[in-house]
Amino acid sequence: MEEHILELNRISKSFDGKMIIKDLNLKIEKNEFITLLGPSGCGKSTTLRIIGGFEKPDTGTVLFHGKDITGLAPDKRNINTVFQKYSLFPHMNVEENIAFGLKLKKKSKAYIQDKIRYALKLVNLEGFEKRETTSLSGGQQQRIAIARAIVNEPDLLLLDEPLGALDLKLRKDMQRELINIKKEVGITFIYVTHDQEEALTMSDKIVVMNKGIIQQMGTSKSIYDEPQNAFVADFIGESNIVDGVMLEDRVVSISGVKVECVDEGFGTDEPVDVVIRPEDLEIREAGKGYFDGTVISVLFQGAYYEIKIRVADTDWISQSVTAPRAGETVGLYVLPDNIQIMHKPRSEDAEVVRE
């Protein structure tokens, strides 16, 4: 029984002497929706291009269905790619664009017409067969690009920031469309983005990358709730990340105050990073929390208020549906379960990969 549709083994890639991907290992199961997430320059798009065959790694191998395809040309892999710029043929109408790959495979006219109808229904663009692609909106063009990829029945669909050029509302609509398409066609998706919300919303599994290294891998919930280092905590959502000292099991010192937590095994008097999500930082009356601080600012964000509180020389961010006044003194409290303790990184490039 095949366990993984794709395996990347010790992949490294440099451009002009600069390391872009460093000894990367990744296994992807069939029918997963995997998102490669990270800031610009982290190596996620280069990883995708290596999978698609558009770049060759300096070292390492790419296995597809257990076979080494590292040196195989893109058109020899049963893998299709959807780019941010769509790459539709402007001189062809919608059905001609969708049929292009099928005609190269010398499929029959009846087969092609069936596939076009199926693909347009899948992307909610029935009746658009004769439309010119230049007359379509950005969202419609993106759907046609996806339809063109899907009709070729790839085992793996690569999507390189495909929603980056769309406005916010259309981007959210397309997120839902992609999830539905993925469920309908049963194709493995590998999706590249720097948008944390996209990744958290759409993915079965997220691979967080920085400086060509996988920092953490897991479900949306596990990465958000249990970040493995300060980079992941800071990049995935908002976080308060402050210095602390682990005094003993389940007790951490923050700004000289002993605070209960649930973490163990750090030893005694160990410098650590303390991570608390803004929604977990409770604002109470002065004197009824771990710390007292002064409200510096209150910003209305629609669903909640974002409140900045200064405690000594540290600024904390809290999110709440109610808000104190700027200048008011308040107490801050957090439940032990909502405190994440992390080792200080031994080096800037320290690699962490956990399921």
**pLDDT band, very low/low/confident/very high, at 281 (cuts 50, 70, 90):** very high
Q: pLDDT tens across 146-162, in order? A: 999 999 889 999 999 88
Compute the average pLDDT of residues 223-237: 91
Q: Which pLDDT score, from 0 to 100, does residue 100 have? A: 92
Is residue 355 scored above 50 in pLDDT? Answer: no
**pTM, rounded to two decimals:** 0.87
Residue 157 to residue 185: CA distance in whole angstroms: 11
For position 346, what pLDDT does the model report? 67
* pLDDT bracket for residue 347 (50, 70, 90): low
Give the count of beta carbons closer than 10 Å to the beta carbon of residue 176: 11
- pLDDT band at 2, cuts 50/70/90? low
Mean pLDDT of 10-29: 96
User: What confidence tens digit (pLDDT) does each residue in 256-265 have?
Assistant: 999 999 999 9
Q: What is the pLDDT of residue 186?
A: 86
Residue among 255, 243, 266 at smallest CA distance from 289? 255
pLDDT at 31: 92
Task: Find the mean pLDDT for residues 165-184.
Answer: 84
Q: 348 versus 240: which is more confidently predicted?
A: 240
Separation between Cα atoms, residue 31 and residue 35, nearest integer Å: 13
23 pLDDT above the threshold of 90: yes
- Residue range 11-16: mean pLDDT, rounded: 96
Tell me the pLDDT band of 214, cut-offs 50, 70 and 90: very high
283-308, pLDDT tens digit by residue?
999 999 999 999 999 999 999 999 99
Determine the pLDDT at residue 172. Answer: 85
What pLDDT is attached to residue 1? 43
Q: What string of DSSP letters covers 259-289?
A: EE-----S-SSEEEEEEE-GGG-EEEETTSS
Mean pLDDT rounded to a whole number for the chain: 91
Q: 3-state class of 168 per DSSP?
A: helix
pLDDT greater than 90 at residue 184: no
Task: Give the CA distances from residue 18 to residues 37, 45, 147, 160, 296, in Å, rounded to whole numbers and listed in that order.
Answer: 20, 15, 36, 22, 42
Does the CA dihedral 333-320-277-224 come out positive or negative?
A: positive
Query: Binning pLDDT at 50, 70 and 90, where does residue 85 land?
Result: confident
Q: Which of 76-85, 261-270, 271-280, 312-321 has the lowest mean pLDDT?
A: 76-85
Phi-psi region of 43 (alpha: psi -120 to 50; beta: other; left: phi over 0): left
The phi-psi region of residue 132 (left if phi > 0; otherwise alpha if psi is between -120 and 50; otherwise beta) is beta
Residues 31 and 68: their CA atoms lie apart, in Å, by: 20
Between 347 and 215, the more confident residue is 215
Q: What is the pLDDT of residue 174?
A: 83
H-type alpha helices, the chain: 44-52, 94-104, 109-122, 138-150, 168-185, 196-202, 220-225, 230-235
Quote the pLDDT of residue 349.
53
- pLDDT band for position 227 (50/70/90)? very high
Interaxial angle between packed helices 94-104 and 109-122, expressed in degrees from 0 to 180 and rounded to the nearest 10: 130
Strand partners, 81: 158
Tokens of 238: 């908002």
Residue 348 has pLDDT above 90, yes or no: no
**Which residue ranges form the domains of the chain, and what is each CATH number?**
6-225 (3.40.50.300), 240-343 (2.40.50.140)
